[in-house]
Copies of this chain bind each other. A is one copy, B any other.
Amino acid sequence: MSLEQLSALLKEKHVKCPECGGELGPPQYFMTMFKTSIGPYGEDPAYGRPEAAQGIFVNFHRILETMREKFPIGIAQVGTVLRNEISPRQGPIRLREFTIMDFELFFDPAEPNCPYLDEVVSEEISIVTEESRSKGTEHATKVQVGEAIKRKVIKAPWAAYFMALSKRFLTQLGVDAQHQRFFEKLPTERAHYSAQTFDHEIELDRWGWTEVAGFAYRTDYDLRKHMEATGEDLRVFKPYSAPRIRKTKSIKPNHQNLRKTFQEQTGRIADLISKDDPEKLLAAKKAGQPVKIGSYTVSPDCFDVVEEEVKETGTRFLPHVIEPSFGVERLLYTTLEYNLMMKEDRLILGLPFNLAPIQASVFPLVNKDGLQKRATEVYETLIADGLRVGYDEAGSIGRRYARADEAGVPLGITIDYDTLKDDTVTVRDRDSWNQTRTPVGTLASTIYTIVKEGFNTPK
């Protein structure tokens, strides 16, 4: 519908402002990308990218070559994208500038299976299918990934594989299965490039079900469009297991016979024969009938059918693409919401160890008798061991524990008078408040063991 048609319709139906009842202004286009211009005098228009994906498609062939044409191939990119959102006022949930993690998995449409599917085949995910939605419900079906592929609920096995990984990823970030679902987009909602799209949604306190990732089956849309626009061949070479011989028939002018009829025009007509439709000439040859070539009528003995063998080592295909795409700020928001908890009257930010900005904090029990010096040494040792470590000597030890809990520091290391005697320290767990005693010499490995196996089984 054009702006004029829309305008006429609004007038015809007497549509008023739902807020104030007043007349509506004329409809206008709304640009959802940010436009700017490049060059000394702003002569070239340009747009802020709304997704990182296109950089991947443009560079696809070069990367494929660099990676020595291994296939299937996945290319990931993380970066800033810009969208001129209509209503960006939802905190970090809808930002005009946000960080995207785009991943493009290129596969051969003739071999659509994912070789890693076994790893996730019995992972159960919740799907609100297009079918269910088109019946007007948002009922989620629980289904194992393998089953979802078999029933063609998920069209591309690679998409199913990444959806299973995404569920595990969000589970690691602290979101239990009941607050995760995959929401299939209706054909009218899908982006123009997608044959099937699932949003990975998380249930958030304030915003309800919220998309944190999308899984789009982009088919060969992007590579095809880039090929059409640039003329570059972006297809991938696929070798046959053994070279294949293909027999082809081609037409060759018979100069000797041509000369008999056409004399000095032989060269001209031979050229016309070479450029003419071989099928037409083959048919004429078969029928033994003269054939019209240009303005000449040529008898079939003026050209010969030559059988040739062509050796082909492989074929070329245009890959299909599955795109998992994650919004970093939404993942961060989700992680904060699902890890912020109360224990007794205290606030704990239960960040996973690998995400915690500070993984362990070192505390001298008191600020005297050399405890600070020893604590500083332990602090520096842990940093050298590759951990992200804090140091805090301000206030009572209980207050420092509480502060670290609230800041999401998983482990507290306390240096006390026993440390000076037997070189052991207390390791305290943020979530359970349990403590264990361990020698300074094996502290880093104790920490890594705790991270792998949980706090209750440090070795």
Q: Is B38 touching A42 in the complex (CB atoms < 8 A)?
A: no
Interface string of A17-44 (1 = CB under 8 A from B): 0000000000010110011111111100
- What class of interface size applies to chain A in its complex with B? 20 to 34
Q: Is B80 touching A38 in the complex (CB atoms < 8 A)?
A: no
Which A residues form the contact surface with B (CB < 8 A)?
Answer: 28, 30-31, 34-42, 46, 48, 68, 79-80, 84, 86, 96, 394
Q: Is B34 touching A84 in the complex (CB atoms < 8 A)?
A: no
Q: Is A39 touching B80 in the complex (CB atoms < 8 A)?
A: no
Which of B30, B41, B42, B80 is in CB contact (< 8 Å) with A80?
B80
| Alpha-carbon distance A219/B38, docked complex (angstroms) | 33
Which of B30, B35, B39, B68 is in CB contact (< 8 Å) with A41?
B30
A99 to chain B: closest residue by CB: B79
Q: Is B36 touching A35 in the complex (CB atoms < 8 A)?
A: yes
Besides the known contacts A28-B41, A40-B84, A68-B394, 8 further A-B residue pairs in the complex with CB atoms under 8 A apart: A30-B41, A35-B36, A35-B42, A36-B36, A36-B48, A38-B96, A40-B86, A80-B80
A31 to chain B: closest residue by CB: B42
Q: A68-B394, A394-B68 are in contact. Are A84 and B30 (CB under 8 A)?
A: no
| Alpha-carbon distance A79/B34, docked complex (angstroms) | 19
Q: Is A40 touching B30 in the complex (CB atoms < 8 A)?
A: yes
A35 to chain B: closest residue by CB: B36
A29 to chain B: closest residue by CB: B41
List 21 contacting pairs A-B, 8 Å CB cutoff, sorted by A.
Answer: A28-B41, A30-B40, A30-B41, A31-B42, A34-B36, A34-B37, A34-B38, A34-B46, A35-B36, A35-B37, A35-B42, A36-B36, A36-B48, A38-B84, A38-B96, A39-B84, A40-B84, A40-B86, A68-B394, A79-B80, A80-B80
A47 to chain B: closest residue by CB: B36
| Alpha-carbon distance A46/B36, docked complex (angstroms) | 10
| Alpha-carbon distance A80/B99, docked complex (angstroms) | 11
Please name all residues of chain B whose beta carbon is closer than 8 Å to the beta carbon of A46 when the two chains form the complex.
34
Please name all residues of chain B whose beta carbon is closer than 8 Å to the beta carbon of A84 when the two chains form the complex.
38-40
Please name all residues of chain B whose beta carbon is closer than 8 Å to the beta carbon of A31 when the two chains form the complex.
42
| Alpha-carbon distance A37/B37, docked complex (angstroms) | 11
| Alpha-carbon distance A394/B42, docked complex (angstroms) | 50
Please name all residues of chain B whose beta carbon is closer than 8 Å to the beta carbon of A34 when the two chains form the complex.
36-38, 46
Q: Within the complex, what minimum Cβ distance (angstroms) separates A59 from chain B? A: 15
| Alpha-carbon distance A153/B10, docked complex (angstroms) | 72
Q: Within the complex, what minimum Cβ distance (angstroms) separates A448 from chain B? A: 10
| Alpha-carbon distance A28/B30, docked complex (angstroms) | 31
Q: Within the complex, what minimum Cβ distance (angstroms) separates A137 from chain B? A: 33
